[in-house]
Structure formats: structure tokens, C-alpha cells
Amino acid sequence: MRKNWIAKASAIAIVVSSSLNAQVLPEHQTENQWYTDAQSKLIEKSTVNNSFKAKNVILFVGDGMGISTLTASRIMQGQLAGNSGEEDYLSFENFPHTALVKTYNVDAQTPDSAGTMTAMMSGLKTDVGVIGVDEDIERGVCSSQSGNEVVTALELAEIKGLATGVISTARITHATPAATYAKSADRNWEDISDMPEDATECVDIADQLIHFEANLEARYTGIDVDGIDVAMGGGRRHFLPKDVAFNSADASSEIEGDRTDSRDLTAEWKELYPNGTYVIDQTGFDAINTESEGPIFGLFNESHMQYEADRSNDIAGEPSLSEMTQKAIQKLDNNEKGFLLVVESGRIDHGHHAGSAYNALTDTIEFANAVEMATNMTDSDDTLILVTADHGHVFTIAGYPKRGNPILGKVVPVGSDEATTASDDMPYTTLGYTNGLGYRDLGTETDADVTYTLDAAAGRQDLSNVDTTTSGFHQEALIPAGSETHSGEDIALHAQGPGSQLVQGVIEQSVVFHLMNQALDLVNE
């Protein structure tokens, strides 16, 4: 009660102070929209929830969603709505609390997703390329794994009796989602075919997902858990045997599985959870009964799921990130104790690696839609929502374009209708990359990955007669590389709900775990 009184008193003080200032400031200043909008934002932030304990926590991770990606995406979102764009906000940018997060790994200045997500899920930083283990491990050496495993927030939530879920637009065995449930000396050990012959004591990531419940109960004698309630994403090939005849009998596709041990892990999952629901396409997804008792397992693509821009081109159909988020919450909130849900937009990262700002920004906007879906479905009084990234990219916003200039377009300066030129007398785009495959003009092509079938074309190109706003345009890159790289810059953390007031300042990435632990009391010390 006292905390609420303090919040209300603060809001009143701001209003009184504004009234006094209004007697000094001219009317054209105090009635200016910029002035009044800023004042309203301050009042909103002074009346936030001051509780520290939550019933539910949702962690959203935009893979590769650096600060420049947020800026460009909000502008693109606004421009798609018919506005100039700069004044727009992604849904989570309206959250009351924000911090900057340092992303380096123990052994790397510029990180990867395995080390960064392990930090967020376990509370300690680790090396590049390893999952669910500490820094004392040697990457790729199975014998170094034993004794260095760490416990994740998802495991702790299971032990506490909360409902749990992990969803991703990447392969569900990929580094970011895998760091919620797996322990691996190498992020690439997604199935047994990816592992060295001498790694006989280690278990592949797909196997660990299927047998998560049994593994957890075996590791901690005396506990009783019910397993992950919702797991959805891509990566079906890592769960199926490398057997053409077998896969051609599967309604999903005729793509070969990767497993060389002849095991069908989807069949093993169905045997473990006879009351569960396994789905592979939009039709199956739409038919899911979230009120049923069993868990949900969705594998919607043999590899990564489609970019958001490509989903309408897929005959079988894949659900959007927003739809998966909605379905997951509908399932998880059946647990009266609460839930922990981890949501990853993995293809933001892949769009950047391919040098396609269009796909990276389009998937970021859909990611923001998923956050908005979760915000609308939950109560900020009992649900902490954290929105962050694992790392950034070498993605730049440059030049001096006038306000409202198409974010995917060429730089047109204030007072001109013509694109400005660089010292080489050629125009250039607002968005670009420091390294990568470089310029492509693929017209209306929406699949960013097609660029990997072509040779690198880094360096300057004459864009005078090129429409750079099309979906198939890939930005120029300064340094030629087979794939654009991550950056070492800080990323943002946005928060709403109980405990969100602790999200402030500049923090280590491992603090994200401790925010979830603080809210849910996962560790009773």
C-alpha cells in the first residue's frame, strides 16, 4: 500500500511541477506535441508496478536484435503504417524499464548465441560454442563436459512445479533454444550424426529434448517433474532417422532425416507422452486443444522455420511467432502455480547473416507483434516480461537522410528529392553492413538464404538504377565474407511487470537469469 501511495505522490508531484513550469514557459512550448508526449511518458513511468514477485515469467529473445536493428525496425514499422516512421515504437519499447546488456563471452570479445543464451539461462558467463556448461569445458571435447554442467532457469521452473515452454523460429535444437534444456560441449551436436565418434559419453541435443524429463529426474534424485509442456520450432531432421523410405512415408516431406542411429525420436516422444500432441504444419497447429492434459511438440520445418516474409509461400503452412506465443500461453496458464516461457525469434539473426536488412527487420516487427500478443494475454501485476537479444550485428544506419526517408532506401538529404552521392559519385543506402556477402538485387525474392548460393560481392556498387526497397535487395558490405558477423556491442533489455524495476543501468548478461530467479524464487538459498 505504501509503495502505491509513493508512486501516486510522485505522479502528482510531476503534474504540480509541470503546472509551475507552465507559468514560466511560453504556451507554444508547453502545448507542443513533443513536449506533452514526453511529459505523459514520464507520468506513466512514475505509476508502475512496484512488486518484486511474479507468478509467470516470459523471456523474449530476438536473436541478433542489436540497437541499430531496433531503430531501423521501428522506422520500418511506422512507414508500413503510412507514417514517417521515426516517431514509432516497437511494442516492447513502451515498457517502463530498460537496461543495456554487455554480451561478451568468457573467451570472446564478440560472442555467439550459445555462450550468451547460457549466460541468460544459468546466471554465469561461459565460452563461445558451448551450451549449458561453464567455462572450464573444452569445446568439442566430450570428456570435459562431465562435472561442468549448469542448471538452467527452465529446469528450476520444472523442479518448482511450474509449467514450462520454449518456442523458436529456428531449429528447436539450435543454440538459443537448446540452451534452455541441454548440456553440450558443442552447439553443433544437434543430432548424433553431428558428433565425433569418440563422444560416446555425450548425448546429442535432440535426444536431450525428448528425454528432458527422465534426464532431470535422474540427475536430481527424489524430484518428480512432468517435462516441458510446450516445445515448438523447426529442426525436424534432427529427430528422424537417415532413411529415405522412412521419411517418404512421413506426411511432412521427403527430406531425409539426419540421424545415423536409426532412431525416430518423434515416435519415442509419442510413446513417452501418449496424451501429448505432435504437429508438423499449420493444420495440425490450428487443431491443438490447449486445454488437454498432455504436452505439445511442434516441428514445423526440416530445418529452420520460414522467414516471416516467406510463410505465405509454404503450401504446408507454418504458424507465425505470434501464433505460437498465443498457443503456448493458452497452454501454460492452465497451471495454477504459474509458468516460465522462453520465446526466440531466430531468423532475425539469419537475415542479418545473409546481408538482408529486409528480412531481419520484417522478422523483428513480427517479434514485436508476439510480445504484444503476450502483453495482451497476461496481467502486468503477476507476469514479468523480459525482452532482449543475445548479441548484435555489424549493421549500420548511416548518412544524413531526411526524416521519413524510406529506411530501406537510398540516402536523400534534407531539402532534396535526389539521392546524395559519396565521394565516388555513386548513391548509397541508409542501411549497410561492415562485412558479409554484400550487394544483391534479387527483385521480389523474399528468401534471404538464397544469397548463400552466390559469390560474395562486397564493396561499392552503382545503385543509381536499383530499387533498394524491394524484398530481394541485399545491402552493400565493406569487407567480403561468406557470412556477415555478430558485433560486440551492448544490446537492450526491456521489462514490464513484477521485478522489472530492477532492470536499469548497464549489466552483465548473466543478470537476466537472476532477474527471473528473483521474480519466481527459483533458487531457495
Q: Extract the C-alpha cell encoding 13.
A: 508531484
Q: How far apart, in whole angstroms, are the C-alpha atoms of residue 450 and residue 243?
A: 27
Q: What angle do CA 77, 166, 138 make, to 5 degrees?
A: 105
Residue 329 · residue 466 · CB < 8 Å: no
CA-to-CA separations, 114 to 5, 103, 125, in angstroms, rounded: 44, 11, 10
Pick the catalytic residue: 46, 68, 113, 471?
113
Q: Is 73 annotated as catalytic?
A: no
The pairing of beta strand 339-345 with beta strand 163-171: parallel
Q: How far apart, in whole angstroms, are the C-alpha atoms of residue 245 and residue 260?
A: 14
Q: How far apart, in whole angstroms, are the C-alpha atoms of residue 15 and residue 494?
A: 26
The pairing of beta strand 230-234 with beta strand 392-393: unpaired
Q: How far apart, in whole angstroms, are the C-alpha atoms of residue 467 and residue 398?
A: 18
* Order of strands, sheet of 395-397, starting from the edge strand that comes earlier in the sequence: 395-397, 431-436, 477-480
End-to-end Cα separation, the chain, in angstroms: 28
Q: What angle do CA 488, 491, 496 make, to 5 degrees?
A: 165
Residue 522 · residue 156 · CB < 8 Å: yes
Please name the residues in contact with 245: beta carbons below 8 A apart, sequence gap of 6 or more. none
Q: Extract the C-alpha cell encoding 261.
A: 542411429
Name beta bridge partners: 341: 58, 165
DSSP assignments along 461-520, one per residue: ---TT--TTSTTEE--EEEE-SS--EE---EEEEEESTTGGG--SEEETTHHHHHHHHHH
Q: How far apart, in whole angstroms, are the C-alpha atoms of residue 42 and residue 452?
A: 46
Residue 474 · residue 354 · CB < 8 Å: yes
Q: How far apart, in whole angstroms, are the C-alpha atoms of residue 70 and residue 365?
A: 9
Q: Extract the C-alpha cell encoding 384.
A: 514479468
Mapped to the 3 state alphabet, what secondary structure does 245-289 carry?
Answer: HHHHCCCCCCCCCCECCCCCHHHHHHHHCCCCEEECCHHHHHCCC
Q: How far apart, in whole angstroms, are the C-alpha atoms of residue 319 and residue 311?
A: 8
Catalytic residues: 113
